[in-house]
Chain A
Amino acid sequence: MNIIVCVKQVIDPEAPPASFKIDAATNKAEMKGAAPVIDPYGEYAVEAALKLKEARGGKITILTLGVNLLREVVKKPLAMGADELILLEDEIFTSGDNGSIANALALAIKKKGEYDLILCGREASDTNAGQTGPAIAELLGIPCIILARKIEPIDDKIKVERVNSLGYDVIESPLPAVVTVSNEVGQPRYPTIKGIMAAKKIEPIIWKAGDIGYETGISNKTKLQKLFQPVHEAKCEFAAGETPEEMAVNLALKLREAKIV
């Protein structure tokens, strides 16, 4: 089975909220003092691909779009066990909106050809949109399943367990298909020393806009007007008391008085 996994490099979402800063002039965000990481949601997609490869064999190609891509970051999926890395590293790509980025990924997937399954994270930790997977499916005209917790190949089809708020749906789909992977798929494995050594030897393939026939701006439909940090005024009323027990009693009185509990 040939699997393409779309993963991106993001600012570290686990860094403390206090280090999060927005540059108002460029509408860009950063985590001061924290190195970028592979998107944690994307790592679940890599894990799902590795599970499939273990069960059925095949080849895993990682597709990463961005600029200033740190090799030790974007090579992590290789160290986890993926076979090949394609970098769409061109500022033209990142100047577009979500739709333009999905378009670039779809063009790269077409150029790569030979794919049975395309995996993405359920969303990315920066945009929290969850649109890239479904958008690629529409652009390629193939089925799409979101929020997978289990993917099982059966003959030339796949059976997917799709998480929902009550439990899960069992979905069958022909291939090729796009599947977005949810965290219930299981913790992504840590790269082994052997994996890290192997990843060092793999040279990423780099494609620029011209290599995939990408035209600037044609897919742009949205505009980011503003990026801002919501202000949380600290208006917490602390329960008074000499001991934790006293404070607890005062909290109970206060909540009851305000008819909160």
Chain B
Amino acid sequence: MSEYKGVAVYCEAKNDKILPIAAEGLGIGRKLAESLGQELAAVIIGDKALAQQAIAAGADKAYVIEDAQLKEYQPDAYISALEKAIKQIQPQIVILGQTDSGRELVTRLAYRLNTAATLDCVDLAIDTGTKRLLQTKPVYGGNAQAVIITETDPQIVTIRTKAFAALTPDASRKGEVVSIPAGLDSSIIKAKIVNRVVEEVAGIKLEDARVVVAGGRGIGSADGFKQLDEMAKLLKGAVGASRPACDNNWISDTAQVGLTGKIIAPEVYIAVAISGSSQHMSGCSGAKTIVAVNKDKEANIFRHARYGVVGDWKKVLPAFVQKLKEL
């Protein structure tokens, strides 16, 4: 295992910018590399111009795979390209984001490299004795967390959005940029994306919202969600929901927050008439501040909330909104 050295972060990019989760990967990657006394590498598929962004975000070196065939995202081609890059770089640790593509690429990439992956990590640290990576991830729908060790190299993980801090970008940082030829054969693409359909969402996207107002079973109707929508608009936020509310068709499935829906980490999560099941909490526990309104003082949500009101949301919400408008 000794030939593997350093930490590599796959930096996904969109519209000529590395994604926030890539910067978060470089942030934790920097820490891990320093505690190992090794280098931090960025792996980029696409434009060389992205390399400096990754270096500014903490990478010592940026490997860029440029290939016309990689312009459009095709998982089979991306797995091959990453396999090639990782075999050349030989890092001890590989970090990807738990994104649409990260979760798709990571397990198969690990198999190609004859190692294993751990998905959706919320904490990563180097064991002081063994120097192996301690990979902490939520399991049992958020009821528990597991600490997993991979005994083969490279140790591959995906990280949860907003679970790790990015460094403040430093444009003056210098680093080496290395080109890796992809050398792809188009016949490796078996399952092919033939169309990408974007479903328009009115207003602010749930994942991007600073404030999320979410409703649960206790909202009781689609009309109730209209009130949440008004409050979300006032706070320039988005509306979320727990699974029972979606199952009752009071709101679209795309609003679902939880293990079976979206995992979000807004600044403020206002949970209205949500009991706070583990499966729901694993979708919103990354929120900086949770505010809860619930009739039941014993509801699980209050174990997670920073601020709370015990009362009927139908009475609490109008008064709350009115006061906010006055302030």
Contacts and interface: CB of A to CB of B under 8 A. Distances in A.
Interface of A: 11, 13-14, 17, 20, 22, 29, 41, 97-99, 125-131, 134-135, 137-139, 142-146, 160, 162, 164-174, 177, 183-184, 187, 220-230, 232, 234-239, 243-249, 251-256, 260-261
Given A166-B199, A251-B309, A261-B268, A13 B140 contact: yes
A139 B134 contact: no
B148 A143 contact: no
A172 B194 contact: yes
Report whether over half of chain A's contact residues are helix, strand or loop; otherwise say mixed.
Answer: mixed
Contact of B291 (A168, A228, A251): A251
B134 A248 contact: no
A44 B59 CA distance: 42
B82 to A, nearest CB: 14
B195 interface: yes
9 contacts: A97-B116, A131-B119, A168-B197, A183-B260, A187-B247, A244-B311, A244-B316, A245-B319, A252-B320
A109 B185 CA distance: 29
Contact of B268 (A131, A236, A260): A260
A44 B327 CA distance: 48
Interface string B280-304: 0000000001011000000010111
Nearest to B324: A252
Contacts of B76: 143
A144 B149 CA distance: 26
Interface stretch (B60-68, B107-115, B217-225): B107-115
Contacts of B228: none
B178 interface: no
A174 B187 CA distance: 13
Given A145-B191, A173-B192, A222 B197 contact: no
B165 interface: no
Given A143-B191, A223-B149, A98 B116 contact: yes
Contacts of A145: 191
Contacts of B277: 14, 17
B151 A165 contact: no
Identify which of A184, A221, A248 gathers the most chain B CB atoms within 10 Å of its CB: A248
Given A167-B199, A225-B148, A247-B316, A253 B260 contact: no
Given A236-B308, A244-B312, A255-B291, A229 B144 contact: yes
B190 interface: yes
B150 interface: yes
A130 B235 CA distance: 35
A165 B100 contact: yes
B315 A22 contact: no
Contacts of A235: 306
Interface string B99-136: 11001100110011001111110000000000000100
Interface of B: 76, 99-100, 103-104, 107-108, 111-112, 115-120, 134, 137-141, 143-152, 190-199, 207, 211, 235, 247, 253, 259-260, 262, 267-268, 277-279, 289, 291-292, 300, 302-312, 315-320, 323-324, 327
B225 to A, nearest CB: 19
Given A126-B139, A128-B138, A251-B307, A222 B118 contact: yes
A128 B98 CA distance: 13
A137 B247 CA distance: 32
B291 A221 contact: no
Contacts of A98: 116
A180 B211 CA distance: 32
Given A20-B140, A131-B117, A166 B198 contact: yes
A22 B235 CA distance: 40
Contact of B141 (A125, A225, A261): A125
A20 B143 CA distance: 7
A128 B141 contact: yes
A164 B56 CA distance: 29
A22 B323 CA distance: 45
A47 to B, nearest CB: 14
Contacts of B327: 252-253, 256
A145 B134 CA distance: 29
Nearest to B117: A131
A187 B300 CA distance: 27
B302 to A, nearest CB: 5
4 nearest A-B residue pairs (beta carbon): A244-B311, A167-B199, A248-B319, A173-B191
